[in-house]
């Protein structure tokens, strides 16, 4: 745990330095004993919230981005199929679907086994998360809200 504490501090500080260099707006805090950075960005169509967690116990840097709309219960099975199809195409990270609530969250992880998460990792995690969430979020939201059909969602995912 001592190494986890040091790595968390170092990773957190490196991310703050890089976010400042990028002139990126953010807030910091603590959650369950871990440093957290909360930020966001306007995508092409939908704003994205991003939460970085520096997990001391598991020795990981995680970024989460929850979609602003949950799938209704009657669409969870079809949504799960779409999420599995998306995850098959994603090179880094994955979408997680809570089958109880319909919430969809994008998650990307960097472990500290090779060393702390530095500024380059910060930019990579920001870029991959924003790019991936922006690619899929509007279609998932449209499906959740009944604006597109399952077949339209599946066709989009297959093409992307």
- DSSP 8-state code for residue 105: E
Q: How remote is the C-alpha of 5 from its chain's centroid?
A: 23
Task: For residue range 48-80, list pLDDT tens digits in order.
Answer: 999 999 999 999 999 999 999 999 999 999 999
Rg (CA), the chain: 17
Tell me what percent of the residues of the chain surpass a pLDDT of 70.
98
What pLDDT does 116 receive? 85
Q: CATH for 2-159?
A: 3.30.1460.70
pLDDT tens digits for range 113-159: 878 889 899 999 999 999 999 999 999 999 999 999 999 999 999 99
* Locus of tokens 């219960």: 73
Q: Which residues face 63 on adjacent strands?
A: 52, 108
| Run of H or E residues at 33 | none
Please provide the DSSP assignment of 47-80 as one string: EEEEEEEEETTTTEEEEEEE-SSPPPGGGHHHHH
The four Cα atoms 50, 54, 13, 48 give a dihedral, to 10 degrees, of 0
Report the candidate in 149, 135, 148, 137 with the shortest Cα–Cα distance to residue 69.
137
- Is the pTM here over 0.85, yes or no? yes
Distance, CA of 100 to CA of 37 (rounded, Å): 27
- Interatomic CA distance for residues 117 and 134, integer angstroms: 24
């Amino acid at each position: 745990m001592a190494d986890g504490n040091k790595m968390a501090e170092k990773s957190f500080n490196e991310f703050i330095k890089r976010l400042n260099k990028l002139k990126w707006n953010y807030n910091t805090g603590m959650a369950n004993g871990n440093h957290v950075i909360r930020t966001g960005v306007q995508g092409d169509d939908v704003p994205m919230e991003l939460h970085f967690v520096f997990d001391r116990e598991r020795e990981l840097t995680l970024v989460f981005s929850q979609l602003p709309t949950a799938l209704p219960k009657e669409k969870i099975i079809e949504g799960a199929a779409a999420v599995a199809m998306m995850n098959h195409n994603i090179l880094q990270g994955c979408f997680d679907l809570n089958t109880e609530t319909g919430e969809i969250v994008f998650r990307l992880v960097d472990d500290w086994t090779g060393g702390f998460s530095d500024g380059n990792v910060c930019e990579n995690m920001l870029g991959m998360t924003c790019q991936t969430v922006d690619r899929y979020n509007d279609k998932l939201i449209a499906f959740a809200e009944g604006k597109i059909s399952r077949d339209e969602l599946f066709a989009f995912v297959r093409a992307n």
